[in-house]
């Protein structure tokens, strides 16, 4: 059994350890707040920059790509003929949407796991590995005017859906 002096010493040490831990967590939160403020300032600055499009082109190297992080991009939708605005969705609504989509019958369109995996970048920040035996190509060069996907035929099928560009539409019926 502990004496009164030993109990007092144990409680005092536990209190001091708790106070030091709490102070350290407070400093960590202040540091994290400064990081978040700097990131938000960077996001705000880059959101005022013009969108990256076919004239600007995407960066071909990892170093050049750093300058394009958090910039709007308008390429794929325009080239495929399906330009749509991409609107930011608060994370809470994204989780709600993922929950609803994973509850639909059939194979889920999206799940909460998919949403969680999107929080981490899926783009390599290093040089392109030589093991693949090819060099990366900027998207703008890969989709030159000749290779860009064409819009489907203007007429719609009986199901109300537009036929795909790989359908048997004559080339003269396709719009570009």
The whole-number pLDDT of residue 23 equals: 96
Give the pLDDT mean for 63-69. 80
Rounded to an integer, what distance in angstroms lies between the CA atom of residue 72 and that of residue 50? 8
pLDDT digits (tens, 9 = 90+) for 103-145: 988 888 888 998 888 887 776 666 666 777 777 776 666 665 5
Q: What percent of the chain lies above the pLDDT cut of 70?
A: 64
Does the predicted TM-score (pTM) go above 0.85? no
Q: Which of 83, 81, 22, 70 is nearest to 43 (CA)?
A: 70
Phi, psi for 160 (deg, rounded to 5): 90, -10
Dist CA 152 CA 169 (whole Å): 8
């Amino acid at each position: 059994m502990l004496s009164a002096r030993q109990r007092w010493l144990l409680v005092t040490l536990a209190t001091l350890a708790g106070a030091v831990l709490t102070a350290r967590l407070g400093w960590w939160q202040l540091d994290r707040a400064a990081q978040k403020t700097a990131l938000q300032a960077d996001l705000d600055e880059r959101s005022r920059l013009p969108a990256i499009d076919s004239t600007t082109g995407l960066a071909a190297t990892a170093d050049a790509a750093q300058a394009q992080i958090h910039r709007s991009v308008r390429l794929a939708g325009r080239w495929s003929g399906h330009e749509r605005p991409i609107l930011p969705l608060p994370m809470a609504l994204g989780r709600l949407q993922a929950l609803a989509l994973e509850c639909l019958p059939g194979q889920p369109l999206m799940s909460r796991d998919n949403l969680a995996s999107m929080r981490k970048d899926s783009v390599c920040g290093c040089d392109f590995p030589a093991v693949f035996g090819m060099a990366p190509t900027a998207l703008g060069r890969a989709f030159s005017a000749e290779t860009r996907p064409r819009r489907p035929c203007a007429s719609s099928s009986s199901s109300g859906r537009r036929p795909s560009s790989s359908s048997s539409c004559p080339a003269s019926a396709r719009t570009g």
